[in-house]
Structures are given as structure tokens and as C-alpha cells.
Amino acid sequence: MQLEYDKNNEKLKNYFKNLFSQGTSKIVDLKINVGAFKEIYDCKSNNENFIILEQNSNKTAFNERQWFMNNNIFNYLPFKSGYVGCNIVVEDIKSTAKIRLMPRLYFKKNKELQDYLKENEGKKVEVKIKTDNFNFDNFHPIWEKEKDDSTDYKKDPNYKIVPVGANWTENRHVLGFYNVITEEYNETPSYSLIKAAKNDIGSPYFLILDEMNLSHVERYFADFLSAIESGQPIPLYSNDDENYELDIPDNLLIVGTVNVDETTYMFSPKVLDRANTIEFPTMAAKEYMNSDFKEFDFKNINYLMNPLEDLDVRNMNVYDLKDIFMFINCSEGNLWDVLSNELDLFQSILKKINFGFGFRVINEILRFMFVSWRYEDSPQNWENWERYFDAQVKQKILPKLHGSQKAIGQTINELFNACLIERKNNADARLVDLTKNDCRYYTSAVKLQNMAKILSNQRYVSFIN
């Protein structure tokens, strides 16, 4: 089991540092709230005879005879994969933290197997484990009632709807301010929500900014954009004794609603780069009045309902993601190579008019593709990947697109053709009778076709109008 406490908890960090510097081997009492372990436990059943895992052969495997197993192992264990938030107490020092289980396979000394692994270092090796070894029918933990209520933080709803005003030009409307007259900090609803989230890191909290673009987002939300990017706290105020800062916890999710009219502002590339733009077209009145609104048949509703599942994906870099995608295939070959080519294609088209995208957008698209793969139960051969890449083209790549007929007319046609199965036909986006069967990325193609028609009529177009 791996436990990672809050990186900004200097008091706890210094406590461990002092113990280490003393050179003593002191036993430390660590209290973890029971609720976190209840979240980890998730008994599953599987009737297959073997677990089949593909692992990388490496020096640890053939020298020390051990592997850290990939996430497929959790299909056979009564525990969830990924981090679970918790609260801990060490010597009366409280901290938020996160824990996860990391199964490790350790085999007996076997020279033939070790030599084989050494010869295949860096290559995929198929490991079969009999499922008889994972019989947890009698695993029924009994949880004791919490005796210490010091970690029972959650009292209020885990969301706040905050209407954005047209006069928001600084962060005090979101974060509050220190009143020098009363010598107290004037809190806002969003500030209170962030504090609650910090004290209940195992649960998701939602800050919903209603009519987010009534004011320039870059002005009142600049500190958030910087903190989200850097992982550093937001400075609030200081006095002679201390500087006061606010950390943005990982379990805080920020949603903004947007309408577009003459009273609102368009988002800058800085904001769009850090968000997914989800468009909700207006439903026809007749369709709305006569629809029965049947529920969608979700493939993995439990995964969607827990926004903190796989939270550590946010910190994955391109090398971490490559290690995973290299073992996923699709009809066109290795998925990592396919995604590389697709992203390079769209980037090269947009670079011609200086609308190219950089590492941040690429990493976020790849992370989205990873959690989409997990949502679809992590298939070895993933044939449905285009559906999710289509969503990212529309949500991450197209929103920054705007300009005149002369500036972006040809680019819209090139992007449209990149969304089709037949990419060399140089079709005029306005004139194509579009069907799903023609498209590799259907929703993006429809959006580009609509933009092309508006551009033809008005000589100017943006994603949002």
C-alpha cells in the first residue's frame, strides 16, 4: 500500500525529516479514516480460469524476480485501482492524503524464466496467473465505527453555483479579501467551498460559475489558471508575521456555463487551452415537446459517477502515457503511433494560419483518451477510439478557430477533409451531403461544415457563433 500525504503540509514533512535526521527507527502511529478503506474495497467476481497480463520485461523482473502488475489485475481483486482520498493524523498533526494498492508479483528463483526475461528485456511478456489464487469469497471485512470525529468534515453540499457579475475585474469576487478595518477575512461562497474540499479530499466538489463570460475570465480567474497549471498555492494576503495562501485541492472540479450574445466576452486561447469546451445545441421546439428523454445506456456508469477515479492521470506525462498506449492496438496498428499521426495532421493544418497547439493540449487529449480507454474496460484491441478522439478534436482543437474567409476558409476545408475517411478528395465542406458513414470524426465534421456555411454567408466565423 502506498500513501502520499499533502505536499504542502510542512509541519508533517518536518516531523518526518527530524525523525530521519536523528537516525532513530521510531514506530509512528498513523491514523487513517476508515471511510477511505471502505472506498478501496470493491469485491468483484470473475469466472475465467486465467488472468492474462502483458508486462514489460525489465531488470527488476529478471534480477529480483518481481513485477508491479498493470491495472488489469484489479479485475480479479476485491479492491479498486487508483488513488483514494483519505485523512490522516500523525502525532496530532492532521493532513489530507491519498492511498492506493500496488500489487506486485514475486516468483520463486527460476533460472530458465529469468534468462528468458533477460533475453526479452523491454519487450512485452504475457503472464498467465490461475484465478484460483484469487479466491476472495470469504473476504468480508467488518468496519469498526469511527471513534475519532476529527476527520468528519463534510457538512454542507459539495457544490456551489456562483453567478458571475459583469463587473468582475479581479479575483476578490471569487476568493474574497482581507478586511484591514475588521482584521477579518471576508469569504465568498467559492472560497468556502474550496476550504470544504481541502478538508474532505476523498469526495468531489464542484464550483459552478454561472454565465462565466459576463466578465473577462482572464481577469477574475487568472490566479486559478496559474495555480492549476503550476500546482502552486494562490497568495491571498500577508501581514508582519505570515503569508496566507490558498491551495487548490485535486478534488475540486470547476465548471462554467456560457451563453453567447452582445453582452458576453469570448474566451482567450489561454483559457481554452486549459478547458474542454462542450457545446449544447438548441433542441427544436417540436422535438423537445414530444421527446420521452430515455436514459442513455452507459457502458460503465460507475466509472463516470466517480470523477475522482484515476485522479493520478492528471499528473501523467507523455512518457507515462506512452508506456500504456504502446500496448493498445486498433485496426490500423499500434494506437500510440496512430494517435501521433492524427495529432500531427491536425497540428500541421492549423500551423499554416498560426493556430497550432502545443504540449499542454496534446497531453490533455492523451489523458482524455486514456480515461476513455479505461471507461471501455481497457481493451487490448480498441476499435472504438475514434469516437473519443472526435470529441477531443471538437472540444480541444476547434474552439480557438476564428477568422475571415480569406484567413481561415481554406483551413476549414482542410480540417473538414481530415475528419473524413477519404482524406484526399479536397471536398468543399459546404457542399458535402454528410453522413456518419463518410466520417472518421463525425461531430467535428458537422461542426466544421456549419462553420464553413456561416463563413460563406457572413465572411467571418468563430467556433462559438
User: What digits encode the pLDDT tens for the residues 226-265?
Assistant: 888 888 889 888 876 677 888 898 899 999 999 887 778 8
Q: What is the pLDDT of residue 341?
A: 96
Asked if the model's pLDDT at residue 115 lies above 70, the reply is yes
pLDDT tens track for 26-67: 778 889 888 888 888 876 655 567 778 877 787 778 887 877
What is the rounded distance in angstroms from the CA atom of residue 71 to the CA atom of residue 303? 14
What is the rounded distance in angstroms from the CA atom of residue 423 to the CA atom of residue 440? 10
Q: What is the pLDDT of residue 394?
A: 96
Asked if the model's pLDDT at residue 123 lies above 50, the reply is yes
Q: Say what percent of the chain tops pLDDT 70.
A: 94
pLDDT tens track for 169-213: 998 999 999 888 888 889 999 999 999 998 888 889 999 999 999
Burial class (CB in 10 A: 0-12, 13-18, 19+), 290: exposed
**pTM for the whole structure:** 0.68
C-alpha 138 chain-centroid distance: 35
In the structure grid, which three cell numbers stand for residue 137, read together? 469469497
Average pLDDT over the chain, rounded to an integer: 86
pLDDT tens track for 9-27: 888 988 888 887 776 667 7
Q: What is the pLDDT of residue 230?
A: 83
Amino acid at 124: K
What is the rounded distance in angstroms from the CA atom of residue 254 to the CA atom of residue 314? 15
Burial class (CB in 10 A: 0-12, 13-18, 19+), 106: exposed
Set out the domains of the chain in order of their start, with CATH numbers. 2-149 (no CATH), 153-272 (3.40.50.300), 300-462 (no CATH)
Q: Helix/strand/coil (H, E, C) string of 382-447? A: CCCHHHHHHHHHHHHHCCCCEEEHHHHHHHHHHHHHHCECCCCCCCCCCCCCCCHHHECCHHHHHH
The maximal CA–CA distance of the chain, rounded, in angstroms, is: 77
Q: Which residue has the cell 493532513?
A: 95
Pairing state between β 252-256 and 205-210: parallel
Pairing state between β 159-163 and 205-210: parallel
Q: What is the pLDDT of residue 150?
A: 46
Asked if the model's pLDDT at residue 385 lies above 90, the reply is yes
Under 8 Å between Cβ of 371 and 310: yes
